[in-house]
Each structure stands twice: as C-alpha cells, then as structure tokens.
C-alpha cells in the first residue's frame, strides 16, 4: 500500500438525510462545520439531501412525473410568446 496518500482528518462522522431525518455514523474525511450527538457522543455532522433512506431506488416508492402535462404547458407558453411576437411585429409595420 502506498504511504502518505490517506487524509489526516479521517474520523467518525454523522451523515444525516435532510429529507427524512435519518442518520448513521461512519468514518469519513468529509468537511463539516456542524456537530450533533449520536448515541450519547458528539460527532461532526454532514447533512445530505438524499440517501438510501429516501432515494426511490432503495425505498421502492417510484414517483412518476406527468411529462405530458409539462409538454402541454410548454407548448402553450411557446404559442403565447409567438403570438405576442407576431403582434409586436404587425404593430411595428403600421
């Protein structure tokens, strides 16, 4: 194994999923500014937006996005913008 390649600040860190509030303790060198108590001891805290506690792949709760509705809304906005541009062009010709 190579020498002097491992980080110096490798320590126990709490990782907290901000969407569910679940947390777990593991060793990491992730930069942290906050601390929290886990099982009676204080550790550095790293907040995550998503983890295996909340990711749809792990939870089995897939959410389907209404893409047809989004496309329709986009087409309506595009048609409205085109109509406004044509009205301005017709007004400028007069």
Higher-pLDDT residue of 29 and 2 is 29
Q: Is the pLDDT of residue 74 over 60?
A: yes
How far apart are the C-alpha atoms of 12 and 43, rounded to whole Å? 7
| Plot region of 39 (φ>0 → left; ψ -120 to 50 → alpha; else → beta) | left
Q: Is the pLDDT of residue 57 over 80?
A: no
How far apart are the C-alpha atoms of 79 and 18, rounded to whole Å? 40
Cβ–Cβ under 8 Å, residues 52 and 20: no
Cβ–Cβ under 8 Å, residues 35 and 67: no
């Amino acid at each position: 194994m190579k020498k002097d390649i491992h980080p110096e600040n490798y320590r126990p860190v709490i990782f907290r999923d901000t969407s569910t509030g679940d947390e777990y303790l593991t060793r990491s060198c992730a930069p942290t500014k906050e601390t929290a108590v886990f099982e009676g001891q204080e550790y550095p805290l790293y907040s995550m937006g998503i983890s295996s506690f909340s990711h749809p792949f792990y939870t089995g709760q897939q959410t389907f996005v209404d893409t047809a509705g989004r496309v329709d809304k986009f087409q309506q906005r595009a048609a409205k913008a085109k109509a406004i541009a044509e009205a301005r062009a017709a007004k400028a010709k007069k």
